[in-house]
Structure 1
Amino acid sequence: MSRPVDALLDFLRSEEARGVTHIHLDDQAKELLRELHRRARAPKGDPARPASVVAETSTSAPDSTLASSAPQPTPAFVPAVSAPSGASAGEKIAALAAQAENWDPARKLGTLRTTMVFSTGNPEADLMLVGEAPGYQEELQREPFVGPAGQKLNDILKAMGLAREQAYISNIVKFRPATAGQTTNNRKPTLEEMASCLSFVRAEVEIVKPRCIVALGGTAAEGLLGLTGSVSAMRGKWYEFNGIPVRVTYHPSYLLRSTSVRDKRAVWEDMMEAMEKLDMPISERQRAFFQTK
């Protein structure tokens, strides 16, 4: 379950990505942090005190003793996303998508395009796949992983014995990163852009409750897990996001560019690890896919 502190951490990461080193805290925010500190220091077994305040956007004047490196006033606290209680998983995901359409923390950056692309697939899937951001084809069709990269992902799922509709497919960022004079070219989202949408990913995981997440590509691993470096160094081990096991593998678009059978085998080994985590049967024929002789 998402905690109030998760929204705070998402906000702080987004500010750090912008280069902000100091922020203003109003009295409510200070009291919330004090309450979290008291809970952390309370002896085990002691009942936690109910939170008496909720973090909100401050309308008070800045504290003159706290400085900000940003030339503009500190942006509003990233609000928590919500879904209707008692609704089905599909209805909850639809509610999140409706909120994302006009998500101010992402739109106010001025670096993302306006068409929102949320998710596709089964909102109660055991397997969740997470990419980085929509591209040209995704923006046109308003669905993650379509076009050549989407077809490659479909082929991978088919080799696993799954239809696209059986998995839940999403992205860290819900809008296509913009560039000057942009046509079909795409770019990697920034840390700030990823942080602005991470609350949705947390909420999606909470609703879908997948048994396993696969991060597709280094950018997805960076946004989801805070990892940096090469995918080759990230893969081959299990991580965790909100209590869910996560495997990192190459993005399908990388496989379209690579001519190496070794890369294809690496992705397949990662997907077999996911299959084993999901208690899916793996045949000898499947185990032999892309093996070099």
Structure 2
Amino acid sequence: MTSTPNSLFRHYLDSLIQRGTTRASLTEEARDVLRTWYLTAKKGGRAHSPSSPSSPSSPSPRPEPEPVKTPPPGTAPELFPEERKPSSSITLPEGTMEDKLQYLRDLAQNWKPARDLNSLRDTMVFATGNPHTQLMLIGEAPGYYEEVQREPFVGRAGEKLNQILKAMGLSRDMVYISNIVKFRPALPNQRTNNRAPTPEEIEACLPIIMHEIQVIQPKMIIALGGTAAVGLLGEQGSVSSMRGRFHDLNGIPVRVTYHPSYLLRSDNPREKRKVWEDMLAVMERMGMPVSEKQRGYFLPRE
């Protein structure tokens, strides 16, 4: 079923809820659009997005994205297979780890299942960090700043992730950071605004990230945010329902935690502690040293 603008908006709100967001600010322009949809719905009509000139900051011109498909109201998307194994449609070449990752990078650039959706932008953001690592962090998709710098997890969310890694005694060049979807999900008249990828977009891009995991062979994966967790594990649920324990992905333990952007919107030490408890569990599982000072981060003061 093809979505209308207001159903796409509902899908975006659902994705925010999955990431733990409880509040969202609106610009005056957004309020005007919502008022238009509301008045149109009261009259029994169909809402349409207002038109405006395309953004001059777009990396390259492209056709208007097709409407994003969403499931019927009240139903959960059942698009993910039970098994999360690399697709047989991709055959990795012989060679070094770097050779295989370069092959995947080149393949992802023109990956037909993703391109055929016509709902993703053109600038690819592949991965960053050290492929010879034991820890792999996976998010959902690049946003505006990631698209500009062509590197995952930059901007304020990237700074927050860097702080988390530093508290663990790590840095970006000691881990491997990637996203399930390698292109920024498109929106009409898009500028700096972002949206989470749809189940169709995740499913189309899933073979690439699964082969990345096969190449890296990490001892631990951290899924950052609900969308990444659902995409990797094939389980429906919120971050709060999936975090606090280890999941299994083809023999690799996966820890689900909140996206760094969630911490930017919450000053509550309890929420920061939840993320840190996930990181402590990862460190312990991997045999990393954990000091008493680290164990005490974000605990309430007596």
1:288 aligns with 2:279: no
- Measure how far apart 1:80 and its partner are: 2.2
> For each residue in 1:202-231, what CA deviation from the matched residue of structure 2 results, as whole angstroms up to 9, or x when unmatched?
101111010000000000011011222221
Q: 1:111 aligns with which of 113, 116, 119?
A: 119
AA at the equivalent of 1:267: V
Verify: 1:84 aligned to 2:64, yes or no.
no
Q: Deviations over 1:52-101 (max 9, x none)?
A: xxxxxxxxxxxxxxxxxxxxxxxxxx87233321x221221111001111
Helix, strand or coil: the match of 1:264? helix
Structure 1 residue runs of 5 or longer lacking an equivalent are 1-16, 20-77
Look up the match of 1:42.
none
Partner of 1:52: none
Distance in 2, matches of 1:79 and 1:283, equals: 44
Aligned to 2:77: none
Q: Residue 190 of structure 1 aligns to which amino acid in structure 2?
A: T
- Do residues 122 (structure 1) and 130 (structure 2) align? yes
Name the CA distance, whole Å, in 2 between partners of 1:228 and 1:148: 28
Partner SS for 2:206:
helix
1:151 to 2:159 alignment = yes
Instruction: Indicate the structure whose relative CO is greater, using CA pairs within 8 Å and at least 6 residues apart.
Output: 2
Within 5 Å, give how 1:249-288 maps onto structure 2. 249-288=257-296
CA contact (8 A) 1:240 1:246 kept: yes
5 Å matches for 1:139-288?
139-288=147-296
TM-score, structure 2 length as denominator? 0.70
SS in 2 for 1:214: strand
- Give the TM-score, by structure 1 length: 0.72
Task: Indicate the structure (1 or 2) with the bigger Cα radius of gyration.
Answer: 1
The 2-side partners of 1:266 and 1:240 are apart by 20
**2:190 counterpart SS class:** coil
The CA distance in 2 between the partners of 1:253 and 1:227, in whole Å, is 22
- Deviation of 1:115 after TM superposition, in Å, equals 0.9
Does residue 99 of the first structure (1) align with residue 113 of the second (2)? Answer: no
Closer, same or farther in 2 for the Cα pair 1:247/1:100, shift >3 Å? Answer: same
**Contiguous gaps of at least 5 residues in structure 2:** 1-68, 72-86
Q: Given residue 188 of structure 1, which amino acid in structure 2 is its aligned partner?
A: A
Q: Is the 8 A contact 1:150 1:252 kept in 2?
A: yes
Give distance in 1, aligned partners of 2:283 and 2:90.
31
- The SS at the match of 2:107 is helix
Distance 1:135 1:81 in 2: 27
Q: Percent identity?
A: 59
Which secondary structure state, in structure 2, belongs to the residue aligned with residue 281 of structure 1? coil
Mapped to 2, the partners of 1:197 and 1:254 lie a distance apart of: 24
Q: Would you say the 8 A contact 1:275–1:282 is kept in 2? A: yes
What is the count of residue pairs matched by the alignment?
A: 218
The alpha-carbon deviation at position 266 of structure 1 amounts to 0.4
**Which deviations, in whole Å up to 9, do the C-alpha atoms of 1:11-68 show, x marking residues without a partner?**
xxxxxx887xxxxxxxxxxxxxxxxxxxxxxxxxxxxxxxxxxxxxxxxxxxxxxxxx
What pairs up with 1:35-114 in 2 under 5 angstroms?
Answer: 80-85=89-94, 87-114=95-122
Supply the distance in 1 between the matched residues of 2:235 and 2:257 (Cα, whole angstroms).
Answer: 13
What's the secondary structure of 2:240's corresponding residue?
A: helix
Structure 2 Cα separation of the partners of residues 292 and 89 of structure 1: 44
Q: CA RMSD in A?
A: 1.4
SS at match of 1:137: helix
Give the partner amino acid of 1:284: E
Aligned equivalents of 2:242, 2:275: Cα separation in 1: 12
